[in-house]
């Protein structure tokens, strides 16, 4: 027998009894959640690891050019400073084009960091035979210790050393790279994401400390292609700061991104061999006639790139917080919630910080100072 809606309602009332009245609670007006959402859990007792990266700074900017050694041609692609991940695709395209112009179809890549992987991919995509030779496999490279944020102008060159027209060249690399990175947004494992980012200002920021090196700051040339920032109204956020802004940043989840690059490379027939080269002579003894040098700071020892300068950068890692995916900058400390960990990094008052320091020993005092700066931002959050 079919029961009508009226019959069902009558049955329900009889079951509860006529003397029982159900009254729904009033619906409170929505006030909206305060930004940025969940707090970040930052403390020294949550520390997973400390990694230190030596960025390969080249005063004239990245070197992408061919050099002939007898019957071998070497295509150099190194010296990207703090912009390796950001500029990787644009520089890889230029280096791969130089390699293909030799007419060869079998290429050796030395170096398995992001510059080596993207250059190898550009070559193998053209149908070439490609082998990566590397002392350090991708998870062991300095690229694996990167902050993982779009920073194409970070320690990229000096005004006094860069060649004429470098700004135009850099802009071309940046625009091409940004376009390719966007193709990975939404991919399996989220290799690239767009996240909220909050630059915050302390009540008393202290005096400005000028840089002693004439670093090129070129970000203004590509301001049209990145999201704009806006000031934060005090009523919409929970940060105990004098002022703040909100923008959106491109974030590289380095572990996932590296895995994706490797999968694509191997799927197209690429090969990888762990090999240590004692010197340039051993590197030039490879069977391939065209060798692409993507060794980063390693080019200083292997290829005699004495112009390279180390720029030390330390990252303090805490467990991932998938419920709190955003970043901030406060008191010269950079914080980024990535899928592979929570990054806390003291960036220094300007780009002089870490310049000329090769030591990759973790600094516990630096770690504690960075945590002490940003942990109070989240004290007392509800």
Structural domain count of the chain? 1
Give the pLDDT of residue 381: 83
Q: What is the per-residue pLDDT across 10-36, written as a single tens digit (0 to 9) for each?
A: 433 333 344 444 455 554 444 457 899
Residue 6 lies in a domain: no
Cβ burial, residue 54 (10 Å; 0-12/13-18/19+): buried
Q: In the block, which residue shows the tokens 């303090």?
A: 316
Give the pLDDT of residue 5: 36
Q: In the block, which residue shows the tokens 């240590």?
A: 276
Residue 85 lies in a domain: yes
Residue 130 lies in a domain: yes
Residue 260 lies in a domain: yes
Rounded Cα distance between 273 and 286, Å, is 12
Residue 25 lies in a domain: no
Residue 224 lies in a domain: yes
Residue 76 lies in a domain: yes
| CA distance to 80, 114, 131, 304, per residue, from 288 (Å) | 25, 21, 9, 21
Give the pLDDT of residue 208: 85
Give the pLDDT of residue 244: 96
Hey, which residues does 56 pair with through a beta bridge? 310
Cβ burial, residue 263 (10 Å; 0-12/13-18/19+): exposed
| Three-state SS at 121 | helix
Helices first, then strands: H and E counts in the chain: 8, 14
Cβ burial, residue 221 (10 Å; 0-12/13-18/19+): middle
Identify whether the C-beta of residue 299 lies closer than 8 Å to the C-beta of residue 305: yes
If one counts every other C-beta atom within 10 angstroms of the C-beta of residue 296, the result is 27
Rounded Cα distance between 210 and 129, Å, is 48
Residue 55 lies in a domain: yes
Domain that holds residue 133: 44-378
Give the pLDDT of residue 380: 81
349 phi/psi in degrees, rounded to 5 = -70, -20
Rounded Cα distance between 302 and 282, Å, is 9
Give the pLDDT of residue 283: 98
Give the pLDDT of residue 103: 98
pLDDT of the chain, 382 residues: tens digit per residue: 443 433 333 433 333 344 444 455 554 444 457 899 899 999 999 999 999 999 999 999 999 999 999 999 999 999 999 999 999 999 999 999 999 999 999 999 999 999 999 999 999 999 999 999 999 999 999 999 999 999 999 999 999 999 999 999 999 999 999 999 999 999 999 999 999 999 999 877 678 899 999 999 999 999 999 999 999 999 999 999 989 999 999 999 999 999 999 999 999 999 999 999 999 999 999 999 999 999 999 999 999 999 999 999 999 999 999 999 999 999 999 999 999 999 999 999 999 999 999 999 999 999 999 999 999 999 988 6
Identify whether the C-beta of residue 345 lies closer than 8 Å to the C-beta of residue 333: yes
């Amino acid at each position: 027998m079919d029961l009508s809606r009226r019959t069902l309602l009558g049955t329900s009332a009889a079951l509860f009894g006529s003397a029982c009245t159900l009254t729904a609670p009033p619906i409170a007006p929505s006030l909206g959640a305060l930004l940025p959402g969940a707090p970040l859990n930052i403390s020294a007792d949550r520390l997973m690891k400390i990694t230190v990266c030596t960025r390969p700074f080249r005063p004239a900017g990245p070197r992408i050019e061919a050099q002939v050694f007898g019957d071998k041609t070497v295509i150099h692609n190194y010296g990207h400073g703090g912009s390796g991940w950001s500029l990787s695709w644009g520089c890889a395209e230029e280096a791969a084009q130089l390699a293909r112009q030799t007419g060869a179809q079998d290429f050796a890549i030395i170096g398995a960091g992001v510059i080596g992987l993207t250059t190898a991919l550009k070559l193998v995509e053209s149908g070439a035979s490609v082998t990566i030779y590397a002392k350090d496999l991708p998870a062991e490279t300095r690229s694996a210790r990167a902050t993982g944020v779009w920073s194409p102008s970070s320690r990229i060159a000096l005004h006094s050393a860069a060649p004429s027209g470098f700004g135009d060249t850099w802009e071309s690399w940046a625009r091409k790279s940004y376009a390719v990175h966007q193709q990975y947004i939404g991919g399996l494992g989220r290799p690239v994401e767009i996240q909220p980012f909050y630059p915050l200002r302390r009540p008393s920021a202290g005096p400005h400390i000028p840089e002693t090196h004439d670093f090129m700051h070129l970000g203004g040339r590509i301001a049209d292609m990145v999201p704009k920032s806006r000031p934060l109204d005090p009523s919409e956020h929970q940060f105990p700061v004098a002022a703040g802004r909100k923008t959106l940043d491109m974030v590289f989840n380095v572990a996932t991104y590296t895995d994706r690059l490797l999968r694509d490379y191997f799927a197209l027939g690429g090969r990888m061999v762990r090999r240590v080269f004692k010197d340039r002579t051993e590197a030039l003894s490879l069977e391939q006639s065209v060798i692409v040098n993507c060794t980063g700071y390693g080019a200083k020892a292997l290829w005699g790139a004495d112009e390279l300068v180390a720029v030390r950068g330390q990252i303090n890692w805490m467990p991932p917080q998938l419920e709190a995916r955003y970043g901030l900058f406060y008191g010269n400390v950079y914080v980024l919630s990535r899928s592979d960990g929570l990054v806390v990094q003291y960036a220094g008052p300007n780009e002089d910080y870490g310049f000329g320091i090769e030591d990759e020993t973790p600094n516990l005092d630096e770690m504690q100072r960075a945590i002490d700066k940003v942990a109070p931002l989240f004290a007392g959050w509800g």
